Structure 1
Amino acid sequence: MGLRAFEKSDYGTLIHWIDSDKLNYQWGGPNFEFPLDCTQISKHCAQSEVFPFIFVINEENAGYVELFKVSESHFRICRVFVSNDFRGKGVAKQMLNQLIELSETQFNVRELSLAVFERNKIAKNCYESLGFVVTAFEQGTRSFDDAAWDLLRMEKRL
């Protein structure tokens, strides 16, 4: 079980997982259009600040997560996703724990941040259990289907 680099051969898996417009928005915010495709993924992953990973359990792809370099000591956790087959089993917490450790050991990160939609209570609770604290609340900055999706900003010092 562990994180490995997300590669071009994984694009189809991610496209298969992100199977609705609403899920696409929850996963990628306004940065990706549905349906997700190889061109969008390739363009996104080609950015030098983006470090994408696949989480593998028993040789099966179980999740996706990425780090985004904000500065030398500050990275943002983005686009956390656990496949349907692995939901409800604590996989997100395991994947994020490994990502936090990797952030410290490989990138010498001192501050991790993330954004989560307030409506995503399960994700918020997971982040809080890992030591992230809410630092800001953004009301009305995002919307989907004419409904506001409020955003929470969270941080963790390492």
Structure 2
Amino acid sequence: MELVAFRPDEAQQLIDWIDSPELNLLWGGPCYAYPLTQEQISEHCQKPEVFAFLCRHEGENVGFIELFHLGNNAYRICRVFIAPDYRGRGMAQSMVTQLIAVAKQQFAARELSLGVFAHNHSALACYQALGFSRYASEPFISSVSDEPWLLYRMKLDVSECQEVMQ
């Protein structure tokens, strides 16, 4: 498995994967409107603080992940997605582990943060297994649900990561 820089001309892959308003919000938060378009993705990914990657496994694109520069060696992991056919195989944990290494080695990141919806149990378990800890929670008014979604804010001190991530 490897991370490769995402190119906006590869946006159709994301458009094909993100096939419902609920999944769009779960993946992209308020950043993207459903249905996804190449223009939205291209515009977002061209921002200087956005570093987007595809995850490849045996020549196939199996996921997407983004690193967002917040400033002062702080970054946010965003828009983590594993293609439906590849879920349940531990690929998300491997992909996030690789992004942590990239953040540390190439960007000198000291702190990583992320947001995850409380009902996204598999993502929450993945992040906790990698050492992320919850530091805040807040209601998120969902545009696809009558009930607010609970959003957990999590962070990781990169300097305390295992040697394997260096």
3-state SS of paired residue (2:62): strand
Look up the match of 2:97. Answer: 97
Per the alignment, residue 141 of structure 2 pairs with: 142
- 3-state SS in 1 of match to 2:128: helix
Distance 2:3 2:141 in 1: 30
Alpha-carbon distance between aligned partners in 1 of 2:107 and 2:141, rounded to the nearest angstrom = 30
- Amino acid in the other structure paired with 1:114: L
Match in the other structure for 1:44: 44
- CA shift at 1:142, angstroms? 2.7
Q: Give, as a single letter, the amino acid of the residue that structure 1 aligns with 2:153.
A: R
Q: Tell whether the 8 Å contact from 2:8 to 2:45 is kept in structure 1 after alignment.
A: no
Return the offset for 1:21: 0.9
Is the counterpart of residue 35 in structure 1 residue 27 in structure 2? no
Q: Please, what is the CA RMSD of the aligned residues? A: 0.8
Quick check: 1:111–1:156 contact (8 Å CA) kept in 2? yes
Q: Which residue of 2 aligns with 1:131?
A: 131
TM-score normalised by the chain length of structure 1: 0.97
**After superposition, what is the alpha-carbon deviation per residue over 1:57-85, rounded to whole angstroms, capped at 9, x for unaligned?**
00000000000000131000000000011
Deviation at 1:8, TM superposition (A): 2.3
Runs of 5+ unmatched residues, structure 1: none
**Where in structure 2 are the equivalents of 1:5-154 lying within 5 Å?**
5-139=5-139, 141-143=140-142, 144-154=144-154
Q: Which amino acid aligns with 2:15?
A: I
Verify the 8 A CA contact 1:68 1:75 in the aligned structure 2.
yes
Moved >6 Å (runs of 4+): none
Q: Any conservation in 2 of the 1:69–1:76 contact (CA below 8 Å)?
A: yes
SS class of match (2:71)? coil
Deviations 1:9-49 (A, max 9, x none): 31110100001111001111112111100010011011111
- Quick one: which amino acid aligns to residue 44 of structure 1? H
Q: TM-score, normalised by structure 2?
A: 0.92
Q: 3-state DSSP class of the match of 1:150?
A: strand
Q: Quote the Cα distance in structure 2 between the aligned partners of 1:66 and 1:142.
A: 23
Residue type at the aligned position of 1:121: H
Q: How many residue pairs align between the two structures?
A: 157
Q: Which AA in structure 1 matches 2:54?
A: I
Q: Percent identity?
A: 46
Output the amino acid matched with 1:118. Answer: A
